[in-house]
A and B are shown apart, each in its own frame.
Chain A
Amino acid sequence: MPGRFAIAIFLCSLTLHAQTPAPPPRPLAVSNAVVYINDAYCSDAQNVRIVIDDDDRVPYPLTGSGQERTVITPGYKFDATHSKASLYFGDMHTDCVRAEPDWTNRRAKFVFNRCSRKAVRNITIRSSQLIRISYFRYLPAGDPGTVPCHPRASFFSNDMPPVEAVRDQDEELVLQLDFTKPLPDRDGLRLSAILRVVEGAKKGKRVALGPDRIVEVLAVQRAYGTSAPPTFSSLAIDLDKQKMRELNNPRLELDITYLKREQR
């Protein structure tokens, strides 16, 4: 009997604990940050840019050199207690880290302990039709202290700027055609599926995707089970075809350029 009583108290305490989460930290809106790059492999690099809060359109340049650098984001305030950031080094893209607040100097602090050695490539996308193309990138958490993030952007142009330093192994790039803004909870045309289906894409050649090819890639994605159980849904194929017709049968050209192979 006492045993049961003890178990009941334990369960009650667990429930109470679950119902009283720790209060969120007080926000600190800032527009400047100090950035530490603690990996000798990349700490001397020049032209380093930072993406804050997943906005891939506006990478801000870092100033200074060596391990400690700074960044100012004119006109944009972000939360120094919660924002995420990653660094572009031209042929490198780091994992994302969470900001730490520097209350004394009222600024954010981002600490990058490791630069990615993974193979990367730039993806340039051109469309035959003027359609809105959004994209988001799924960067999983890698080394300890890093967090998953989804840098994203949207363009309404036939010739959008390249998507930079997309990692070969662990990153997924998702193109969303005719999306007014990128929606990371929805699927789209995945780079991994294009590489699997379209001949030459893996070797870094320029590849063309007509409407039928786009529909085929999407069907392969569903068969592979990328965001739902594997399915050969005929209706889903018909829906994709209808969507292509509504977009006046766009033709995409992808330039997949390897910038760097895997480093050890």
Chain B
Amino acid sequence: MRLRALFVLLLAGSAAAQQRALFDVDDFVDPRQHDVPLFSSRLVIGGAWNFVDDYRPANEDVGFVHVANSFYVRNFQFDYKHSEVLGEDPPPLHACACDPPIYFPTPPPRDATPAAPPAGSRNTLQAAWYVPVGGEDRIPVMLRYRLTWSRQAFDVPVTAPQSDDVLSRRSGREQTFGLDGDVYVPMFGRYGYGSFQYAKNSRRGPVEDRTQQELVYTSRPPGTTWKGMLFRATLSVGAVSDRGGTAINMINPYFEVFLHERTTRANFHLVWSPQFLNSGARGWETTHQIALFADRALLLKLVR
């Protein structure tokens, strides 16, 4: 019975999966809502406790500023997004006086969850295509398919083992290429929404290179409303490579409360997103990520 309940939950739940950052607010705009091209610039500001970056716990609380510029024309959407994650400075690397040098702290082993990249700035480009799907007996539903490419560069100071003198800096970069698409599937006699995400994340430096691939299904049940607030719960389940083990090693329920404030035209989000991650070295670990942030349009222009 419990297994069955879990199965139902897995299928009926959904998650705004973490391929996109937690603070990257929904930007789905049904092309049927605008007859002319549309440009929008949006600012997001907030903070997150126990921040998780692409299924890698950062083990710190962060603040963030995010600007999303989106252009919608017909059934297409193009985005340029810039985000600044503000956390503690990365701890310096200590290098031993040996050849080749060994850096401390040593990076997590190959069968462990990789460390999140240092807090910093990230640029993202996206292109999306909206596709109507449906028959005669209901309004066609609009699904979105999207390509994402993001890039982040960082550098870390290197000091001598017994001193704080910076000997050099080691740089690194990380880029992610992702695909995600909505699905509309029959489920228990009704239709339900979900999304598939695939992403390949490659990091070079500052000490070692790691590449992880993610394949995640997110089930997206209907939200609900109470006293002017919107609520939703989603559930993502997936496999993330390069951390030991195979099969499903990521489960991510996601709960969000959304409030649109009429006077300021700002939108407030409260998110609780516990991530259950499994690695060969440390087994299942849970990170309770909580975020509070607000977004507001900086510019909204219909190009008539």
Contacts and interface: CB of A to CB of B under 8 A. Distances in A.
A154 B141 CA distance: 23
Interface stretch (B27-35, B46-54, B85-93, B207-215): B27-35
Interface residues of A, number: 35
A235 B137 contact: no
B179 interface: no
A240 B32 CA distance: 12
B230 A235 contact: no
Interface stretch (A17-25, A57-65, A120-128, A225-233): A225-233
A132 to B, nearest CB: 15
A138 B230 CA distance: 26
A196 B226 CA distance: 10
Interface string B217-258: 000111111001010100000000000000000000000101
A185 B28 CA distance: 18
B40 interface: yes
Contacts of A226: 139
Contacts of A232: 25-26, 223, 230, 232, 256, 258, 267, 269
A173 to B, nearest CB: 12
B102 interface: no
B162 to A, nearest CB: 52
A186 interface: yes
A79 interface: no
A239 B29 contact: yes
Interface string B1-42: 000000000000010000000000111111011100010101
B147 interface: no
Contacts of B70: 235
A223 B256 CA distance: 11
A262 interface: no
A186 B139 CA distance: 7
Contacts of A235: 27, 29, 40, 42, 70, 297, 300
Contact of B28 (A212, A219, A236, A238): A236
Nearest to A246: B302
B222 A242 contact: no
A223 B225 contact: yes
Contact of A224 (B138, B184, B223, B300): B223
Contact of B225 (A148, A197, A240): A197
Nearest to B139: A227
Contacts of A187: 30, 32, 139
A185 B139 contact: yes
Contacts of A164: none
Contact of B222 (A174, A224, A236): A224
A234 B40 CA distance: 11
Contacts of A233: 25-29
Contacts of B136: 148
Contacts of A239: 29, 33-34, 38, 300
A160 interface: no
A29 interface: no
A100 interface: no
A197 B27 CA distance: 23
Contact of B300 (A140, A220, A238): A238
Nearest to A228: B142
A223 B132 contact: no
A204 interface: no
B153 interface: no
B96 to A, nearest CB: 50
A27 to B, nearest CB: 20
A241 interface: yes
Given A140-B138, A229-B193, 14 more contacts: A185-B140, A187-B139, A224-B224, A226-B139, A230-B222, A234-B27, A234-B260, A234-B297, A235-B29, A237-B267, A239-B29, A239-B33, A240-B33, A241-B265
30 contacts: A141-B137, A148-B137, A184-B139, A185-B139, A186-B32, A216-B260, A223-B223, A223-B232, A224-B223, A228-B143, A229-B182, A229-B195, A230-B223, A231-B28, A232-B269, A233-B26, A233-B28, A234-B25, A234-B26, A234-B42, A234-B260, A234-B296, A235-B27, A236-B33, A237-B267, A238-B265, A239-B34, A239-B300, A240-B33, A242-B302
Interface of B: 14, 25-30, 32-34, 38, 40, 42, 70, 132, 136-144, 182, 184, 193, 195, 220-225, 228, 230, 232, 256, 258, 260, 262, 265, 267, 269, 295-297, 300, 302
